[in-house]
Amino acid sequence: MENSNLGKVVVVTGASAGVGRAVTAEFARQGAHLGLIARGRERLEAAKREVEQLGGKAVALPTDVADAQQVEAAAERAEQELGPIDIWVNVAMTTIFAPFLEIKPEEFKRATEVTYLGQVYGTMAALKRMHARDRGVIVQVGSALAYRSIPLQSPYCGAKHAIVGFTDSIRSELIHDKSNVHITAVMLPAMNTPQFTWCRTRLPRHPQPVPPIFQPEVAARAIVWAAGQKRREVFVGWPTVLAIYGQDIAPSFADRYLAKTAYSGQQTSEPVAADRPDNLFEPVPGDFAAHGVFDQRSSDFSVQTWMDMHRGKLSLAGVGLAVLALIALKRKK
């Protein structure tokens, strides 16, 4: 697994911070050549240096994923400088933490354009090239919130739901075409990323992920692994599994439970700082990387994800144990 992506060309959107930054580092450790897409050039260059220090090769591609022409130009430049794209990972997102009635139309539109249409445009650029070559992998980075929405994040939840819808449609089209291009979705739990420090908010207290919280490297390992599998979807962390299947079983209970708990659960005890950065329409300067401010409360390992990634071996081990148990029973008789 360590060198499974050696020499592959990988494009990652949202590559300069958060989960996207962790994904680029994970691919770099395996020797991939990376096209890095985000808006801010300064942090993209920092991500590029990190990739090179880890043994990978990278090109910085300053791009607003809400602009289809910019995304297409970034894809073209990636192929010119690195070669044909093998893997495209859509991660870029933004949101507004606020009750729906306090969100302005232009804010809702912008969050939707980045989080949803950014994945649409990324998929268009990648599939245009991959379909013609009949090979390649597209990874849509989603969320448990794509299946179970929570209050105070209606733009983000709506966008993540939409990603599942359009991805399912494309998947059927690829099957119809008998294409060897594979599209997969990786659904994440609460992650410790900078979004809670820089996404626009109208909450009285500092936003936080709904605990339990995981480090972005947990997501990155699953995303990079998923890029080499043929899975339809991958769920990361028990909270994701519980949210998705809980929505199927008891959606009305979830509505009421979240109405009671998710307002306080998405805020710390600290007031929102007067000089808080805001990345909704412009990139935020500063030395942000993969992690947010919740390191002390975040787990860097998920048992559920490890088991899912190794379920083939675990199944074989289970069969082996069952056989040994049967042999032991026979001997006792």
CB-CB contact of 226 with 139 (8 Å): yes
pLDDT at 162 over 60: yes
Residue keyed to tokens 């996207």: 20
Q: What is the pLDDT of residues 280-315, one digit of tens each?
A: 999 999 989 999 999 999 999 999 999 999 887 665
Structure token pair of residue 34: 């990376």
Beta-carbon-side half-sphere exposure of residue 300 (alpha carbons within 13 Å): 6
In this structure, what is the dihedral angle of CA atoms 52, 46, 296, 199, given to the nearest 10 degrees? -140
Domain 9-301 class in CATH: alpha beta
Active site residues: 156
**pLDDT class of 322 with cuts at 50, 70, 90:** very low
The per-residue b/e assignment along 1-13, b for 16 or more CB within 10 angstroms, e otherwise, is: eeeebeebbbbbb
Q: Give the relative orientation of helices 68-82 and 118-133 as an angle to the nearest 10 degrees.
A: 40
Instruction: Provide the residue ranges of all domains of the chain, joining segments of one domain with +.
Output: 9-301
Alpha-carbon gap, residue 19 to 241, rounded angstroms: 19
* Prediction pTM value: 0.94
pLDDT at 1 over 80: no
